[in-house]
Amino acid sequence: MEGTGKHGGDQLSIKKSKPILIEPETRTHNGFFFLSNLDQVITNFVHTVYLYKAKKGGGGRDTLSDIFKQSMANILVHYYPLAGRLRLGSDGKYNVECTNEGVLFVEARANCNMDQVDVQVITEDHSETIGKLLYRSPGTENILEMPLMTAQVTRFKCGGFALGLSISHCMVDGISAMEFIKSWAETARGMPLTTKPVLDRSILRSRQPPKIDFPFGQYAPAETNNLSNITDPFQGEQILTKCFLFDSNKLAILKNMAMEDGTVKSCSNFTALTAFVLPIECADFGWGEPAQFGGANLPKDSGVFLPDGKEKKGINLILDLPVTAMSIFQELMLL
């Protein structure tokens, strides 16, 4: 199984092995796993790619694959719903049948060194590069037939490798996804789990019949009578997806801009930004922290912060905006 994709001018060629299913090491749970209403809002798969430099002193291809496969089997004992499959209930809502079928794992080889792959290309090239570093089940469009997670390990000529993950958003949000990655990485390094998952979902179920004790302000009608002046100027415009790197210098400029009118007296590197350094710091599978990290198939019309790698100490902002709005944003941010 082969494919090519752009990685900065040349062609990235990937040869993939036949996918295998990794089951939990022990089968301890069955039955159904409840999904809340929020879990069902976004049913697509979110893709992330981690790039790791070669490990000094060796670590062959077989060792690399064995560590990921064995640690996956181990961690699925704790995160057993990920080894199940989505089912559609009689109420029209999804839940997970804990079938222990497992997650898909694929090994792959690239025709180039890792330094020829750039995280911004991975992020902005929706159809090519990112698709080669991830595995997607061919011909499977029904989410009830898909594994809830796939993992692809791609080895580069230099000895570095990419870990490409695809996880159903029904199962995880950003924080819980990183908790899973952290736990998987700890297992790969032979360490005990810092935080074990809490899979009791009873608190998320509504009472029967539902009982509403107080008003919920977030669902109150908006006070403004007309929001059309916000969206009308951009009707019909193409939506652009761009990735902007905010290095330490740009972050300093933004902090000064935030404080220049005197309203804000002090400003850190934005709590909202620094919180997203977590994916880099917790994804050490034994090869150190990722050199680069990128995402794809992220929620539409959104802004997402991703780390640029600990060595670079920058933050990437992936942003969806209409053409005109994107131009205005770039002017305001001095980009």
- pLDDT confidence of residue 74: 97
SS3 45: strand
Average pLDDT over residues 236-243: 79
Tell me what pLDDT residue 161 has.
94
Average pLDDT over residues 35-56: 86
Q: Which residues contact residue 67 at a Cβ distance below 8 angstroms, ignoring those fewer than 6 apart?
A: 188, 285, 286
Residue 291 and residue 222 in contact, taking contact as beta carbons nearer than 8 Å: no
Pair of tokens at residue 262: 């005197």
| Res 14 pLDDT > 80 | yes
Average pLDDT over residues 86-93: 90
Residue 278 has pLDDT above 50, yes or no: no
| Contact call for residues 159 and 291 (beta carbons, < 8 A) | no
pLDDT digits (tens, 9 = 90+) for 156-166: 999 999 999 99
Q: Which pLDDT tens digit goes with each residue over 260-272? A: 776 666 666 544 3
**Structure confidence by residue, pLDDT tens digits, 98-145:** 999 999 999 999 999 988 887 666 666 555 677 789 998 776 667 788
- Span 256-284, average pLDDT: 60
How many CA atoms lie within 13 Å of 131's alpha carbon, on the beta-carbon side? 12
Spacing of C-alpha 68 from chain mean position: 18
Dihedral sign (CA 135, 137, 139, 143) = negative
pTM above 0.95, yes or no: no
Highest mean pLDDT pick, 6-20, 102-116, 278-292, 293-307: 102-116
Q: State CA 61 to chain mean position distance.
A: 25
320-330: pLDDT as tens digits: 788 888 888 88
pLDDT for the residue 281: 60
User: CB–CB of 276/172 below 8 Å?
Assistant: no
The pLDDT value given to residue 136: 81
pLDDT at position 56 is 73
Res. 295 pLDDT band, cuts 50 70 90: confident
**DSSP three-state, residue 149:** strand
**What gap in Å lies between CA 107 and CA 216, rounded to an integer?**
48
Name the residue type at position 87.
R
Indicate if the pLDDT at residue 35 is higher than 80.
yes
pLDDT of 17 higher than 90: yes
Q: Which of 53-67, 193-207, 256-270 holds the top average pLDDT?
A: 193-207
> Going from the N-terminus, what domains does the chain have, and what CATH number goes with each?
2-199 (3.30.559.10), 238-332 (3.30.559.10)
Q: Is the dihedral of CA 248, 249, 250, 253 positive or negative?
A: positive
Looking only at the bridges linking them, the beta strands covering 11-16 and 315-322 are unpaired
